[in-house]
Chain A
């Protein structure tokens, strides 16, 4: 059984069909990439999985659980974490606090315990901190630990957002354009991280990305999307060679 299975998903915004009868599935342990021109519906597909949008039709099964039975905040509890195309961090908090929010789904203490900061809360806090420190080490975020997000450069924010998602120890990680706006070196780092996330941490990755170098470098399978519908699916090489994909990217007559 696939880890994530999407069947016949459709979503319209007014007259625009953002996702059109889309079906695909992501296997446990793979890196699955979605490519496609701007406005193809990639982010919308992510938002459907995150339950931010209610689909018109379709089924969304994550590890045997029907995602449509979940509220948006319960998706994290299932073990799905994500990043956003236009970085969504907690601006007026430190990097450390941002990463600790990633631990939210692992909290065990109640309001009353937290008000009195009981020994159990303290123990839990230390445990959360330990988990977050692992992420900080992994992503080399040590210099920024106690910095406010509001003053950080774009590239660092991107990494912090990845870190926040990792801190939740997800089973499935959704990355919306992890390399967009990054320099060549930063993109290279991102590539190794995604590799390690899959290999060392055993986390399945579903990502949207434009950088074909990155996509063919890390992903096992690629889905090409155009106007909300599936254009092609296969290994990176297969998809890149697909005439329909080339046409969608370069326009008619380019082949």
Chain B
């Protein structure tokens, strides 16, 4: 059993509450930096893919998990980030400026879109944001001279002060770039969570009425969440562009939006861990399935819709049996070990002590 004594308020504010967590995350970080020496190029590419999805997941998690606003339009923001980055670099802006700027631009566009869209709630919001995904496709085709339309675009090689990075020929350099962006995004996310704004997000998610009564401006807070979410998503989009090597109007489709949303639900809503766990599932599921399929029915046979079907199935199982996602399951297992042998079966069961009403009286 692990017990920590807190001796000052700073304890709860720290990034890592105690030595133990610090050492775990420290080891994880070391491992992440040593990975190019441990894995071959194929698997390093796969891990890079996981990290890019995790960044995108963090982006959507901030909006959906933290602030409670579902979006099925985030593929559009992946696209905006990707195209903005590529076009800026084509215009001669160096990567080190173009890349951050692409995210910021995506964030600004996100805020502008958020103003009308975030008046909607729940499923209506989700439906409205579908339009974004669909629209993005059309806009890319319409703005052909800039975007390359249907024939698409190839991002140029990244150079940072003369140092070259390319996904295929230098996978470990590209991996390090993605890793650094992942760490920065995770830190931003974590910092927000322990600040007034992060708490305002949670307040808006759980009760708009009492958030307002405590002085939280609902529309402004949602707007900030949307902007920050889109910024992170934009960065993920830019990296996806590099990872894919080429992209066009169909790369960032509605399917990507849906996958992203399913990913954070499966991973565990409202937690940083959830974004990473979900990303692992999304990135490795196609591989695992194709290996499984090859062994079971032979490699020649194609099963259309297999991935989507299995993915949807996993989602349904999670919603039914573990609404807290993989992270929630992980917490339970960890608590069981920490308290061993004192864990009780119904420890995580919630007490239904009152019914929430929509009315104020």
A positions within 8 Å CB-CB of B: 43-44, 47, 50, 52, 71-77, 81-82, 84-93, 96-97, 100-105, 107, 109, 111, 114-117, 121-122, 125-126, 128-130, 133, 150-154, 157, 164, 168
Task: Report whether A153 and B351 are in contact in the complex, using a CB–CB cutoff of 8 Å.
Answer: yes
Complex interface: chain A residues within 8 A of B21 (CB): none
Complex-state Cα separation, A5 to B228, whole angstroms: 41
Complex-state Cα separation, A82 to B218, whole angstroms: 17
Task: Report whether B357 and A109 are in contact in the complex, using a CB–CB cutoff of 8 Å.
Answer: no
Q: Is B192 an interface residue (CB 8 A)?
A: yes
Task: Report whether A43 and B12 are in contact in the complex, using a CB–CB cutoff of 8 Å.
Answer: no
Task: Report whether B191 and A117 are in contact in the complex, using a CB–CB cutoff of 8 Å.
Answer: yes
- Given contacts A88-B209, A157-B353, A76 and B214 within 8 Å (CB-CB): yes
Task: Report whether B354 and A43 are in contact in the complex, using a CB–CB cutoff of 8 Å.
Answer: no
- Given contacts A87-B354, A111-B224, A125 and B195 within 8 Å (CB-CB): yes
Q: Is B194 an interface residue (CB 8 A)?
A: yes
Nearest-Cβ distance from residue A151 to partner chain B, whole angstroms:
5
Give A121's nearest chain B residue, CB to CB: B195
Task: Report whether B210 and A84 are in contact in the complex, using a CB–CB cutoff of 8 Å.
Answer: yes
Which residues in chain B, 162-211, are within 8 Å of chain A measured between CB atoms? 188, 191-192, 194-200, 202-203, 205-207, 209-211
Task: Report whether B200 and A101 are in contact in the complex, using a CB–CB cutoff of 8 Å.
Answer: yes
Contact of B191 among A97, A115, A130, A164 (CB under 8 A): A115
Give A96's nearest chain B residue, CB to CB: B12
Task: Report whether B214 and A81 are in contact in the complex, using a CB–CB cutoff of 8 Å.
Answer: yes
Give B358's nearest chain A residue, CB to CB: A86
Task: Report whether A114 and B351 are in contact in the complex, using a CB–CB cutoff of 8 Å.
Answer: no
Complex interface: chain A residues within 8 A of B217 (CB): 71, 73
Contact of A129 among B9, B224, B361 (CB under 8 A): B9
Give B351's nearest chain A residue, CB to CB: A151
Task: Report whether B210 and A90 are in contact in the complex, using a CB–CB cutoff of 8 Å.
Answer: yes
Which residues in chain B, 1-35, are within 8 Å of chain A measured between CB atoms? 9-10, 12-13
Most buried by B among A77, A103, A115, A152: A115
Task: Report whether A73 and B218 are in contact in the complex, using a CB–CB cutoff of 8 Å.
Answer: yes
Nearest-Cβ distance from residue B66 to partner chain A, whole angstroms:
10
Q: Assign chain B's interface to a size class.
A: 35 or more
Q: Is B297 an interface residue (CB 8 A)?
A: no
Task: Report whether B203 and A168 are in contact in the complex, using a CB–CB cutoff of 8 Å.
Answer: no
A-B CB contacts (within 8 Å), total count: 137
Task: Report whether B13 and A168 are in contact in the complex, using a CB–CB cutoff of 8 Å.
Answer: no
Nearest-Cβ distance from residue B184 to partner chain A, whole angstroms:
10
Task: Report whether B215 and A74 are in contact in the complex, using a CB–CB cutoff of 8 Å.
Answer: yes
User: What secondary structure prevails in chain A residues at the interface with B?
Assistant: helix
Complex interface: chain A residues within 8 A of B353 (CB): 152-154, 157
Q: Is B360 an interface residue (CB 8 A)?
A: yes
Q: Is B335 an interface residue (CB 8 A)?
A: no
Task: Report whether A86 and B202 are in contact in the complex, using a CB–CB cutoff of 8 Å.
Answer: no
Complex interface: chain A residues within 8 A of B270 (CB): 92
Task: Report whether A102 and B214 are in contact in the complex, using a CB–CB cutoff of 8 Å.
Answer: yes
A-B contact pairs, 20 of them (CB 8 A): A50-B212, A50-B213, A52-B212, A76-B215, A81-B214, A84-B360, A86-B356, A87-B354, A88-B209, A92-B202, A92-B205, A96-B12, A101-B199, A104-B203, A104-B216, A105-B214, A115-B191, A150-B350, A152-B351, A164-B214
Interface 1/0 per residue, B254-290 and A, CB below 8 Å? 0000000000000000100000000000000000000
Give A114's nearest chain B residue, CB to CB: B195
Give A77's nearest chain B residue, CB to CB: B215
Task: Report whether A88 and B210 are in contact in the complex, using a CB–CB cutoff of 8 Å.
Answer: yes
Nearest-Cβ distance from residue B68 to partner chain A, whole angstroms:
9
Most buried by A among B191, B213, B361: B213
Complex interface: chain B residues within 8 A of A109 (CB): 195-196
Task: Report whether A93 and B9 are in contact in the complex, using a CB–CB cutoff of 8 Å.
Answer: no
Give B224's nearest chain A residue, CB to CB: A111
Complex-state Cα separation, A128 to B198, whole angstroms: 14
Complex-state Cα separation, A93 to B198, whole angstroms: 11
Contact of B216 among A50, A73, A82 (CB under 8 A): A73
CB-based closest 6 A-B pairs: A76-B215, A114-B195, A88-B210, A90-B206, A43-B361, A117-B191
Complex-state Cα separation, A153 to B354, whole angstroms: 9
Complex-state Cα separation, A109 to B199, whole angstroms: 13
Complex-state Cα separation, A96 to B195, whole angstroms: 13
Task: Report whether A114 and B197 are in contact in the complex, using a CB–CB cutoff of 8 Å.
Answer: yes
Complex interface: chain B residues within 8 A of A128 (CB): 196
Complex interface: chain B residues within 8 A of A47 (CB): 360-361
Nearest-Cβ distance from residue A104 to partner chain B, whole angstroms:
5
Contact of B194 among A73, A103, A111, A125 (CB under 8 A): A125
Complex-state Cα separation, A152 to B216, whole angstroms: 24
